[in-house]
Each structure stands twice: as structure tokens, then as C-alpha cells.
Structure 1
């Protein structure tokens, strides 16, 4: 899951770790290469529970997206920075979770990692995965392959799970989303945080991505909350560890001891397609 820039059709390069494939390695998937596994090993050396936190984050994305679709009656989802989900990981994708609560919902995934796209086009990944870069939303909402899959005039659930901590200016991304999305749209967001994470572990995990296609940037809870300034955050549960985010009751997943990833759900204010004021 990454904000790196990529030109479609660029040759695959396995010598440099990518966030998407490193995440796959943390999940113990098979679509990762030596460079990715080396980066994942460095992360785990600093935070032994990083693999479990990665799983909790993946489950948060599906759980929160499905809740938002059901709660607000939204019929379309854009999962940006979807990464790779191998069958042997044993986790439901965002698409699977959403379709369990709304069988007719449309889910479109985007990524800019060539291995993610090759995996999807080989039929080994779920649903529809298109090239798209979170730092250039024209590649997402203006993607020629998108067609009529997403109605830009209607509310959309946008999933940004473990994506914005690979972006240098996430506030610009959120501002652009706010301009593009219809009122009543929902963002599902998770981010690695410095809050209550030891500085030495943050430094070590940051260094693990030094040679990757995108650097990781841990941010404080205050900075993460600032990303949804002007949006209506769903509270409770507000911003919390991804393992705890759940409605109607708090989820009881395993909270990371050595590294924290926090998540939130926020709604773009205005009138949605069912005429409700938010």
C-alpha cells in the first residue's frame, strides 16, 4: 500500500522493496521478494508484533468500510492502495466485507505497484484493480479504465488503509479528496503513529524503509486527526487503535505493544444522496 509514483507499464523491479509487497511479507503472504522480506524482517526486529498489527489493520479496513456502506447506504467503494491479498493469508478483502452487507455495491481498487497490478490481472487478486496513485487523484477518478464504475456525483466510501504514512503531504491528499467527493462520502483511514510508540522503534522501522520505493513517516495522533479537519469524524469510536475500532461495540482485536496503527472513519459534511443532513 503505497503513494509512490509509477508510470503504467513500467518493467517490474524486484531489487527494491515496495510498501505493498513488504506489507504482504508482514502478513506472511507469498507475493513478496527478497528485498521486501528483508525490509519486513527489519520492521519485525524493531516491533515483534508488527505482523499482528498488519493483520489487525487489514481487518479494520474491511470492517469499517462495510459498516460505512451499511450505515450510510452508500453503494460504491474506492479502495486506494489495495496491496496484495494472497489466498493463503486467510483474511477477507475490503470487497468481500462490503459485499456481505450490500451485495449490489460496487468496489473498485487502485494501486500503483506493478506487482500488485500484475497479480490482479493474472486473476489471483480480488475484484477490479486499476492503476491509481493517491498522490495524483486524477489517476484514480480520471482513470480511463474506470468507466461508469464509480458515480462521481454520488457519495463514495474511500479506503486509505496504511497508505498516508507513505505520503509526504497527506493533508494535500485529504484536501483534494474533499474537493472531489460528493457530500456524504466517507473516508476510512489508518496510519502508523508516534504516539505511545518508543522513539527507537519508530526510528528503526523508518530506517527499514530507507531503500524502499516509498519512505514511511510516522505521525502523532494530533497530526493524524488534523488530516480530517473539516470532516465529521465518527465518534465513538473516534481515533483509536485499529484493533479496537468497531461499531456498535468496540472491537476486541489485539492491540500492538511495540508499534501502533490507529484508524478513524470520517464523513464529508453536507447532504448525501438520500437527502439526509450530516
Structure 2
């Protein structure tokens, strides 16, 4: 569905049908997806450029689409190393085929709900040195993890494993009653949506120092010329932020 919202071609009829149902109730959904994807690109460029990060762990990465993390990061420095993690075997097979010749990029099966399994995965350890700074990306994934599945504990485990100088990137759908109606088609998907308030999303950065401008609407996180040219208006109902571990 996310690929469809972004205008991609890696989706099935059932995905398109459900996505159309979402947009019929919440037409802004496509703009949320696009705003979120653009935020990811800007965050990775900041991390690889200004912050000097050379290791990226992208959890809940989804199907490869335009401007992937490894493409953005390696565009800044070809030495950047990236591990994608997803819990969908179809995503895994597709991504591995695309990245077969990239020695600095891996794709592994994993779920944010099981951080210890991700952190001890031999492929993760084979590409990333967790004793050195790393950027952990949780972009548009935590709103699929409900409170009873302990998303805060999962994030804490990931942060605890990060070396000082590491970064956490989070984007998350904002809680709004009208968006709950739009989320109903996800009830028959493999993950249901759990939007959260500003304060609830801020909790994911406990113990970290938020990089300016802090947790904001994804379109307002260090907007580039393209974003500014779109005359944003009120933005989209999705928060984004980057925190650093001191």
C-alpha cells in the first residue's frame, strides 16, 4: 500500500483496493506517504553529510522504491554501509535481488518488536560495527506497533545498544480522529495502525537530544527548496524527528 501511495509499481490488486479505500476516507494519506518519504531522504542526507554517519540500520524498510537509504547515503559517501530489516519475506526476496551486487548493503528478516534478534543477527553484525556510531531508522513503522507490544521498550533496547554519537530517526502518524476512519482498511492487513499524540511520539526520544528543529511535522524538518516551493500550508498529520545519543 505504501508503494502504491508513493506512485510505485511493486503492489498487488489487494493493496491498491485497500489503498483506494483509505484515500476515500482520508484523502491526505498519499501526501502523508510522500511527505514521510521526503523526510527520510533529508534525514539521511543530514546524517551522512553534516553528522558524518557511515552506518545505517533501517528497520521496517518495506519494498525498495525511489531514493532508498543506501542510494542517498552512498551518494554522499560510497563507503556508507546499510542494513535493511523487514518482517515480510516478499520484501526480503525482492530487496535481496535488487541489492545482490552491493557489498555494503544487506537485507535481513526481522521485526522491530524483536530488537535483540536484530541486534544479534550475524548479517547485521557482519556489516555494522555497533561499537561505532550508527543511525537507527524507524520511519513510518512504530505506528504499526501497538502499546501492548511494547514499542517504547523496543526503542529503548535499540538505543541502549547504540554507541555515543549515534542517531535515532523516527516518523510517526499523528493521532487524529478522522485518520482512525482512514485506518480501518489496515484492520485486514498484516499490521493495524496505532496513531499517537505529539507527547506519545516524543517519548521515543527519551534520553536523547533532539536535533533542531526537534519533533515537528515531517515537512517542516529541515525543509529543502523543493518542499518550500510547495507552499506547505498546515502540513500533513505525521511527526518526524532525529535524536542523538550523547
TM-score by length of 1: 0.79
Q: 1:171 aligns with which of 142, 152, 172?
A: 152
Q: 2:30 aligns with which of 51, 76, 95?
A: 51
Aligned-partner Cα distance in 2 for 1:145–1:40:
33
Aligned-partner Cα distance in 2 for 1:255–1:94:
24
* Residue aligning to 1:211: 188
Q: Pick the structure with more helix per residue.
A: 2
Higher relative contact order (CA 8 A, sep 6+): 1
**2:193 match: secondary structure:** coil
Aligned-partner Cα distance in 2 for 1:165–1:30:
24
Displacement after TM superposition at 1:66 (Å): 2.0
- Shift of the 254–152 alpha-carbon distance from structure 1 to 2, 3 Å rule, reads farther
User: Greater CA deviation, 74-83 or 242-251?
Assistant: 242-251
Displacement after TM superposition at 1:190 (Å): 0.1
Q: Given that residues 218 and 236 in structure 2 are in contact (C-alpha distance below 8 angstroms), is that contact kept between their aligned partners in structure 1?
A: no
- Shift of the 41–247 alpha-carbon distance from structure 1 to 2, 3 Å rule, reads closer
**2:205 match: secondary structure:** coil
**1:227 match: secondary structure:** helix
**1:210 match: secondary structure:** helix
Q: Given that residues 219 and 236 in structure 2 are in contact (C-alpha distance below 8 angstroms), is that contact kept between their aligned partners in structure 1?
A: no
Matches within 5 A, 1:68-79: 68-79=47-58
Aligned-partner Cα distance in 2 for 1:72–1:256:
29
For residues 41-91 of structure 1, the C-alpha deviation after alignment (integer angstroms, 9 at most, x for no partner) is 1221122131122112112112102202222222211111111134xxxx3
* Residue aligning to 1:34: 13
Aligned-pair RMSD on alpha carbons?
2.4
User: Greater CA deviation, 245-254 or 257-266?
Assistant: 245-254
* Residue aligning to 1:148: 126
Q: Given that residues 244 and 250 in structure 1 are in contact (C-alpha distance below 8 angstroms), is that contact kept between their aligned partners in structure 2?
A: no
Matches within 5 A, 1:71-150: 71-86=50-65, 91-123=66-98, 127-150=105-128
Aligned-partner Cα distance in 2 for 1:218–1:243:
18
- Shift of the 122–57 alpha-carbon distance from structure 1 to 2, 3 Å rule, reads same
For residues 94-124 of structure 1, the C-alpha deviation after alignment (integer angstroms, 9 at most, x for no partner) is 1111112222111111111111112113327
Structure 2 residues without counterparts, runs of 5 or longer: none
For residues 116-172 of structure 1, the C-alpha deviation after alignment (integer angstroms, 9 at most, x for no partner) is 112113327984221121111133221123342100111101111101001123211
